[in-house]
Chain A
Amino acid sequence: MQQTRAVEFGTGLFVILGFCALFYLTTQTSNIGSYQQDDYYELTARFDNVGGLQVRAPVTVAGVRVGRVSDIEFDPERLEAVVTLQIASRFDRLPNDSDASILTSGLIGAQYIGIGAGGMDEYFQNGDEFEFTQGALILENLIGKFLVNAGKSDE
Chain B
Amino acid sequence: MTTLVRELAYSLRSAVEAFGAAQLFFLRVLAQTPRALLRPRLIIEQIHASGSQSLIIIMICGLFVGMVMALQGYDSLSRFGAEESLGGVAALALFRELGPVVTALLFSGRAGTSLASEIGLMRATEQLSAMEMMAVDPVQRVVVPRFLGGVISMPLLAAVFSAIGIFGAYLVGVGLAGVDQGAFWAQMQQSVDLFDDLLSGVIKSVVFGIAATFIAVFEGYNAMPTAEGVSRATTRTVVIGAIAVLILDFMLTAVMLEGV
Given the known A-B contacts A7-B44, A14-B55, are A30 and B156 also in contact in the complex, defined by CB atoms under 8 Å? no
Decide if A10 touches B166 in the complex (CB within 8 Å): no
Which B residues between 13 and 41 are near A, CB-CB below 8 angstroms? none
Most chain B Cβ neighbours within 10 Å, of A7, A11, A25, A31: A25
B159 contacts which chain A residues (CB < 8 A)? 18-19, 21-22, 25
Decide if A8 touches B44 in the complex (CB within 8 Å): yes
Which residues of A are in contact with B by a Cβ distance under 8 Å? 7-8, 10-11, 13-15, 17-19, 21-22, 24-26, 28-33, 35, 110
Decide if B52 touches A14 in the complex (CB within 8 Å): yes
Given the known A-B contacts A7-B44, A31-B189, A31-B192, are A18 and B155 also in contact in the complex, defined by CB atoms under 8 Å? yes
Number of interface residues of B (CB under 8 A): 30
B221 to chain A, nearest CB (A): 24
Rounded to whole angstroms, the CA-CA distance of A46 and B55 in the bound complex is 53
A26 contacts which chain B residues (CB < 8 A)? 194, 198
Most chain A Cβ neighbours within 10 Å, of B47, B155, B164: B47
Rounded to whole angstroms, the CA-CA distance of A21 and B190 in the bound complex is 19
A54 to chain B, nearest CB (A): 10
Rounded to whole angstroms, the CA-CA distance of A109 and B91 in the bound complex is 18
Decide if A30 touches B197 in the complex (CB within 8 Å): yes
Out of B95, B160, B193, B197, name the residue touching A18 (CB < 8 Å).
Answer: B160
Q: Mark B157-168, 1 if CB is under 8 A from A, else 0.
A: 101101110100
A7 contacts which chain B residues (CB < 8 A)? 44-45, 48
* 24 residue pairs A–B, Cβ–Cβ below 8 Å: A7-B48, A8-B44, A10-B52, A11-B48, A15-B47, A15-B51, A17-B55, A17-B160, A18-B153, A18-B157, A18-B159, A21-B160, A21-B163, A21-B164, A25-B95, A25-B166, A25-B198, A26-B194, A29-B91, A29-B166, A29-B185, A29-B189, A30-B194, A30-B198
B5 to chain A, nearest CB (A): 51
Q: Mark B192-204, 1 if CB is under 8 A from A, else 0.
A: 1110011000100
Which residues of B are in contact with A by a Cβ distance under 8 Å? 44-45, 47-48, 51-53, 55, 91, 95, 153, 155-157, 159-160, 162-164, 166, 185, 188-190, 192-194, 197-198, 202
Decide if B48 touches A25 in the complex (CB within 8 Å): no
B192 contacts which chain A residues (CB < 8 A)? 29-31
17 further A-B pairs in the complex, CB-CB below 8 A; given A14-B153, A25-B166, A28-B185: A7-B44, A14-B51, A15-B47, A15-B51, A18-B153, A18-B155, A18-B159, A18-B160, A19-B156, A19-B159, A25-B95, A25-B159, A26-B198, A29-B95, A29-B185, A29-B189, A32-B194
